[in-house]
Chains A and B, each alone.
Chain A
């Protein structure tokens, strides 16, 4: 069963706290992504990972970092979260980047107070 999972699904943090969002996939996909979705702004790419320890900045990487130590697992880290990082975060995976369908996880709704 092809699936992308995300944990946690909901998270409330205080400004300045650290945040760890986790993503897993069971399709052995090489490429994984982190997006954030805000009303009126669509899906904005934060980071892309081509494989283990091979990551690249997306369009809005400031304030975020990522870790990929296993092909099936991709983490998004917010060091000292800010209120403007309140958003819904989606992880996705694909087999390569060309003509490849992206499979999205269920999302994590993060609120930073």
Chain B
């Protein structure tokens, strides 16, 4: 089945700077890449996603990039705020599969 690698596992950035989380996948048939945010003690929630027919998508301060040739996708958070501190999970869905494959997560810590 699909494998998704997510790096880094912990990311510390200064408030106001940008944060980047990178994921890679193995199956070239993967066609949907969502990102979930999990705040402490809470459940994961979808924050942004991208389909394989796109290379870039932006929702406010969130930017997702997809490089299908390299089988990589990334989440960029611009102008980070304390509320961005959370666990972030990337995931991939392979065409014909019945499930998402999640990365192991990135703990993002925004330092004042």
Residues of chain A at the chain B interface (Cβ within 8 Å): 31, 33, 40-43, 45, 48, 50, 56, 58-59, 90, 97-99, 101-102, 104-107
> Are B46 and A102 within 8 A (Cβ)?
yes
B44 contacts chain A at the CB level, 8 A cutoff: yes
Select A40's contact among B9, B34, B102, beta carbons within 8 Å: B9
8 tightest A-B CB contacts, nearest first: A104-B43, A42-B104, A43-B102, A101-B46, A97-B98, A42-B105, A42-B102, A104-B44
A-B contacts besides A40-B104, A42-B105, 14 pairs, CB < 8 Å = A41-B104, A42-B89, A42-B103, A43-B89, A58-B99, A59-B1, A90-B43, A99-B32, A99-B49, A101-B46, A101-B49, A102-B46, A106-B42, A106-B43
Q: B35 CB to closest chain A CB, in angstroms?
A: 11
Across the interface, which residues of B come within 8 angstroms of A48, CB to CB? 98-99
Q: A39 CB to closest chain B CB, in angstroms?
A: 9
Q: A106 CB to closest chain B CB, in angstroms?
A: 5
> Are B51 and A90 within 8 A (Cβ)?
no
With A and B bound together, what is the CA distance between A95 and B92 in angstroms?
A: 17
Interface size class of B (residues with CB under 8 A): 20 to 34
How many inter-chain contacts with C-beta < 8 Å in the A-B complex?
A: 46
Q: B103 CB to closest chain A CB, in angstroms?
A: 6
Q: Chain A interface mostly helix, strand, loop or mixed?
A: loop
Residue of B nearest to A45 (CB): B99
18 contacts between A and B (CB under 8 A): A31-B98, A33-B99, A42-B6, A42-B102, A42-B105, A43-B89, A45-B99, A56-B98, A58-B99, A90-B43, A97-B93, A97-B98, A99-B32, A99-B93, A101-B46, A102-B36, A104-B43, A106-B42
